[in-house]
Each structure stands twice: as structure tokens, then as C-alpha cells.
Structure 1
Amino acid sequence: MRAQRLSHPAADLDDLLDSVVALQAQDVPAARLAARARGVRALDGPVVRTWAMRGTLHLLHERDLWVVDLLGPVFAAAGRRRRAALGLTDELCARALPALREVLADPLDRPALVARLAEVGIPLDPASQAPAHLLAFAAHSGLLWRGLDDTYRLLRADREPRRADDGVRELWRRYRRAYGPATPDDFAAWSGLPKRMARDLPEVVGEPAAPTGAVRLLGHFDPYLLGYRDRSAVLDPAHARLVQTGGGVLTPHVVVDGRVVAVWRRVRGRVGVTPFGDRPDIAEEIAEGVAEEVADLGRFLDADAASTRR
């Protein structure tokens, strides 16, 4: 929790991304909640929302765009068969990249971008998945990114090149600092890199931290649990199905000193907390921390919020 800035809040988004590498951001409200739990109120500054770890949208600092250069080719290659099934041949994709650079003089949303591409000879069926897969390919190729307002923009081309092996080791170092203790298997699951690229990685020693009693309400796509293949150290397997509902979506959950102890939901201004079955006493133990978190959540959402036991 200390490394994830959950018990020791970040000063700002720059400080947060330096610590946790990236925030998962296919769902912008969920990314905002992840930042809130770490002391950050706004997702502004020199940041980019693009396809990174596991081929999923993440929020990265501009200085960490070398991650796109490292991971992009892996996911572009992995998506080749699906692109071909959608009519996105290698030849069409090769023509699409300079066409995208031509039409993205200004930020455009997806419908406008598809229309502009058709005008320059890259026709796509807007009702199919072809536009989404082409734009993801372009992002993996280091050409564009997707703003928090869901418009597409050109990515700066003057990124510092980095050898793949150096990039893997640097990403492993940053990952271990944010998620350790963790294994190379965890790293491969978090990054989406093939296991062969995660072999023979050097040990990275972290600093132990004392428990603080910190209570945090985490959301659907919070990186805390998404950082591991084996989550048993923080989530009892007996309760995993209550949190891991499939498709990479997590039930919002309560974390106390690193352990997931309950789930929560917000309905009509009230936050209901349901402790796991074997710890009915936990509700009393964490009541004060939950009340503080709920109050902060209400301020963050500019909405009335109250807690209730379920």
C-alpha cells in the first residue's frame, strides 16, 4: 500500500505516476477514483492515455512513453490475425498510418476520424470493430493517443529510443517498486509481455513498510489487484469470486493494510460495505476508516454520500 501510494498519498499526478508507472484508464471515472484513493484529485498535466500494459488503455506520464515503444510491437503482432479478419490487411494498415498523421491535425473523435479517413482513401465500416482495431494498431505503432475526452491526437515522435532488453529491465524495476514483492510471472501478467521476455530478470529489493491501519475504497479497475497473476497474498482465494467477476472487471473493494476485506457499492448516494463472510467483526474495526473514505468520496464526486452496513 505504501508503494501504491494508498497509505502515503502522492503529492500530485506526476509523483503518483512515478510511483505506480500507470493507471488503467479504459474507464475514465474508474481512473479518477484510482487517483483519488492515492491523494490525487485531477488527471491533468503532461500525461498520455494510450494502449500499454496488456494492450489496455492506461494513463502514462509523457516521460514514460518508451513503454509504448516496448510493448506496442508485441500487441500489434498479437492482433494481426484479428485485424486481417476485419479486412485490415498489412497493406491497408501501412497506408493508414500516414493517412492518420495527415488527418489528425486537430483532435477528432472516432466518428469524425473514420469519416476523414474515408476521404483520403481508407474506408472503414463504422458499425464494425475495424475502426477500434485500426486505431489501437496506430497507438501500438506510436502514432496516436486517446484523450480523456475520447478524442484522438498525434503522439510526439521525439521519444528516446530504448533497446528492448533495456526496456524490459527498466519496466521490471519500476513494476517491482510499485508492486513488489512479486514474481516474473506476475510481471508478465501485468505487462502482457511473453514469459520468455520476463526470464532471468534481476532481483529488485524493496523497503519494508510498517502497517498503518489505512483503509481505502478501491474501484472497478484499480491497479492494486490488477498488478498480479497470483493475488492470494492480498485477496483470500475463498473470497476471490466476490471481487473477480470476470473480463478484467473487479467489484469495488475495501483494502485495509494491504488485505482485501470487503466489497462496496454506491447506490443513490449511499455506500454499502459488505465484509467477507468469515470476518463479520471487520465492519466495526474499519468503521471509522470507511466513514472517512466515504466522506472523501462524496467530496470528490461533489455528491452526498453516507455509509451503511449491508
Structure 2
Amino acid sequence: MVGAGYTSFRKRKSPLPVGRGLFAFARVQAPPGGGTCPTREERSEMRDARCVQCERYAQNQWLGRERRTGGVVELARHLVGIQSQLRTTPDLAARARLAGARPGDVRRELEETRRLVRTWTVRGTLHVVAAEDLPLLWRALRPEWESRWSKYLDKHVTRVQREAAAAACLQILARGPATRAELLEGAQQILGCRDEWVAYLFSSWGGVLKDLAYAGRVVYGPERDGEVQFVRTEDWLDLPVADMDPDDALAVLLERYLRAYSPARIQDFAHWSGVSVRRAREALTRLGGRVAVRDGWLVPEGEGGGSCAPDRQAGGPGADAGCVRLLPKFDPFLLAHADKFYLDEDHYKAVFRAAADVAAVILSGGRVIGTWRAEGSRVVPALFGPVDDAAAAELAQEVEAVSAWLRQG
């Protein structure tokens, strides 16, 4: 059965709606103080350019009509990590992009092969990343943690207290994996202290574990009875020592970002990574001729054209990006740009909600056209407006496929 919630929006031969905001080119007003409104042809070109921009982004995100072959490790490398404060996000993000994805693939790679690792990376948030990318991420991001992101800790604890808690944590983990509660209890015993600052450093915000993660000393390990455990990196992974200059590492990270997240501007890279705009611009300088800047957009070497010129030749953007996909909450597609060019501004708050919540969305042709939620294993979509018969049929298939996926999980 197709879930309810979208059939009432079905409308014969009706194009995807163009509302106010980023896609409202059909109702552009005259400039203040007079002037000439864009002509019908100019508005059409503007609309086409925006659609091509969305379609190119979908292609770079591996969200074209045909799902990619390959596995979740390859996907994690391409996306430079998948945000993971919700454990369901990485698997559902893989399902949207990969032909052979199955429930549990991510956990198998985390705990059995250890080719994936869960830890804090960009923006100070939890991600599932390819283990081989960890040295690069540590080198590029540790300066941000030490100079900016960890400042909130200084309001509650001293540097001496952080160092003492870190030493106690490593002493406990030398005996094997441990939960957060076990680390707190062990640290209190080692330090001979049960003051509030010790508990604070082992809270769910990260605290001393983030300190150790960005230093490359600690990562998430295997779950035990549904509870996360932490391990020393050296006990869990065999990784080379990274000696790359942090700004050179950030330049590599920028180049990797553009492969998956262009079209983008330098401000978007700073938004995605969490680094300062100054460091982001320095990274761009270090890439030299490998990235061009056209009308403010960053264009990687070898990518034909900029991000705004329509190109619907076979194989180019638009060739296979018209499909419908259901993306999970906090999907990487939604977190990589300061300017949400793929979303009508009227619906911004339906996706980017209070308390830093990010909704699960319905994607069509690289544009967000609605949200969805799961009620048990039943998917309930909520479109922003009418769609044509073809999109409605594709949405029905996706709703059934994701519902079946959730039943397996």
C-alpha cells in the first residue's frame, strides 16, 4: 500500500510548483525606485540556470536517476563523511545513493572490517568517515578545535582539569573499550574527585572525549547492548602518522569537498567544515590553478562550465537527475551550503527547524519538494505543493521502498 499524505497533491500535467523565494522567478518585482523587470526570456533563463544548478548538485551527490554501484566506504570517502548523531542517517543516506545498499552495511563496516569509523569531524559534529581519511581530517580540523570550537569548555573547566581527565580516560581505555558511564566512574576513582567538573567533561556534549578525538587518540568503538563504547585509536585502527601541514590538509579537504558538494562558494565550504573564512580562503589559494572562481562559484579543474549556465546535452546535468529520492534527517545534501539554493525560502523552516533539527526531505531533480517522517515502519510524506503524475508515481515507489527498508531494520 502506498502511504497516505501525498495522493491529494497529485495533479494531472502540473509542473513542480514555483513558489516565492529562490524559485520565484516568474514574479520578479521591478527594482526599487523604478527600472525594468526581467523579460519573460530572462526569467526563463534564470529559472533554467537555478534548475541546472540543483541538478548538478544532485549528480555530484550521487543522487542521479541511476543509483551508483559500490559500497558505503566508497560513499563515505566521496562525501567526506556522513553526519551520524542519528544512527539511522548513514544507512538511509547510502540507500538513497547506492544500488546495493542494505540495512546494517554501515555497522558491519564500523565493527567488523573497521573501514569506517564514527567520530567528531567537521563542524564539531559526529560523522561516520572512512578510516583512511582520519589523518587528513585530524590535521585539517584540530587547529579549529583547539582555537575556536572548544572555547565553550573553558567556561566550565580549566586546562589542567582537561588534561587530568584526558590522562585518566586513556588509562581506562588501555584496558579495553568502555562506555561513557564507565569512563566517568573510572576517572572519578583515578582522580579521587567527584566534583561537577569531572561529570561535565564526560557529558554527552563530548568534553574530554572530543579533546582526545581531535588529537587522534580516541574514536567510537563497538556497541555493547545498544550502548556506545570508546576505544583508543591505536588499539582499534592501524593508521599512518600524518605529518601534513594543517593548511595543506585543509586545501586537500576543500578539493575533496568540491567533488561532492559543488556548485559551491568559499563561504559554503566554511559553513560545511566549520573553519574560519580566513582559513578557507588560504586553502583555496594553496590549490592554485586546480580550482577556478567564476562569478563567486568555485569550479574544480576539469568541470566543464560554471554552475549557472544551462547544459542539457547527454551526460551533462539534467540528463538523469529528475528522479525522486527520500533523504534522511541530517543528510549530507542538506548540510553543505550556507545558501540553500535547492529549497524555496517559503519552506526553509519546514526543513531547518528549531533546536538545530534538520528534517528528512523529498528530493526531485535536485530540489527539495517536501518532507517525510516515519511512523514505525510506515513512511508519511508531506509535499509542499502539487506534482505531476510522473513525480507522484516515483514518490509512491520510494515511499514503499523506504517503508520496506525500515521493516527490515
For the superposition of Structure 1 and Structure 2, which TM-score range results when normalised by the shorter chain?
Answer: 0.7 to 0.9
Task: From the two aligned structures, give the one with the greater strand fraction.
Answer: 1
Q: Which has the higher contact order (CA 8 A, sep 6+)?
A: 2
Distance in 2 separating the partners of 1:192 and 1:13: 24
**Stretches of structure 1 lacking an aligned partner (at least 5 in a row):** 305-310
What is the CA–CA distance in structure 2 between the aligned matches of 1:47 and 1:16, rounded to whole Å? 11
Name the counterpart of 1:226: 335
- Corresponding position: 1:256 with 2:397: no
Q: Which residue matches 2:118?
A: 49
- Which residue is equivalent to 2:232? 154
Aligned to 1:13: 72
- After TM superposition, where is structure 1 displaced by more than 6 Å over at least 4 residues in a row? none
The counterpart of 1:280, out of the listed 370, 377, 386, is: 386
Question: What's 1:61 paired with?
Answer: 130
**2:117 alignment partner, SS class:** strand
Which runs of structure 2 are paired with 1:182-201 in the superposition (5 Å)?
182-200=264-282, 201=284
1:129 aligns with 2:200: yes
Q: Please, which of 66, 79, 92 is the counterpart of residue 33 of structure 1?
A: 92
Contact 1:51 1:139 in 2 (8 A): yes
From the CA coordinates, give the structure whose radius of gyration is larger.
Answer: 2
Q: Which aligned pairs between 1:31-110 and structure 2 lie closer than 5 A? A: 31-39=90-98, 40-41=101-102, 42-43=105-106, 44=109, 45=113, 46-65=115-134, 66-87=136-157, 89-105=158-174, 106-110=176-180
Q: What displacement does 1:272 show?
A: 2.3
Any idea what SS the aligned residue of 2:208 has?
A: helix
* 1:80/1:247 CA distance change after superposition, 3 Å: same
Query: Judging changes above 3 Å, is the alpha-carbon distance between structure 1 residues 268 and 96 closer, same or farther for their aligned structure 2 residues?
Result: closer
Q: What residue is the counterpart of 1:270 in the other structure?
A: 378
1:238-271 Cα offsets, whole Å, 9 max, x none, are 2212111133322211001111111112224432
Q: Which amino acid aligns with 1:178?
A: A
Q: Does the alignment pair 1:2 with 2:80? A: no
SS at match of 1:216: strand
C-alpha spacing 1:122/1:58, structure 2 compared with 1 (3 Å): farther
Unaligned runs of 5+ residues in structure 2 are 1-57, 292-299, 305-315
Structure 1 counterpart of 2:181? 111
RMSD between superposed Cα atoms in Å: 2.3
Q: Deviations over 1:217-247 (max 9, x none)?
A: 0111101010111112x11112212111133
Q: Give how far 1:26 is off.
A: 1.1
* CA distance 1:54–1:110, change in 2 (3 Å): same
Query: Which position in structure 1 is the counterpart of 2:394?
Result: 289
SS in 2 for 1:302: helix
Distance across 2 between alignment mates of 1:246 and 1:161: 40
Amino acid at match of 1:152: F
Distance (Å, rounded) in 2 between the aligned partners of 1:68 and 1:123: 31
The aligned counterpart of 1:308 is none
Task: Give the superposition deviation at 1:302.
Answer: 2.4
Alpha-carbon distance, 1:296 to partner: 2.4
Q: Which amino acid aligns with 1:238?
A: D
User: Which has a greater percent of helix?
Assistant: 2
> How many residues are paired up?
299
Among the aligned pairs, what percent are the same residue? Answer: 29
Give the distance between the partners of 1:137 and 1:209, measured in 2 at CA.
Answer: 42
**Contact 1:52–1:71 (Cα < 8 Å) also in 2:** yes
TM-score normalised according to structure 2 size: 0.68
Q: Give the secondary-structure state (helix, strand or coil) at the position aligned to 2:191.
A: coil
Aligned residues of 1:103 and 1:116 also touching (Cα < 8 A) = yes
Cα distance between partner residues in 1 of 2:69 and 2:268: 24
Q: Which deviates the most, 107-116 or 67-76? A: 67-76
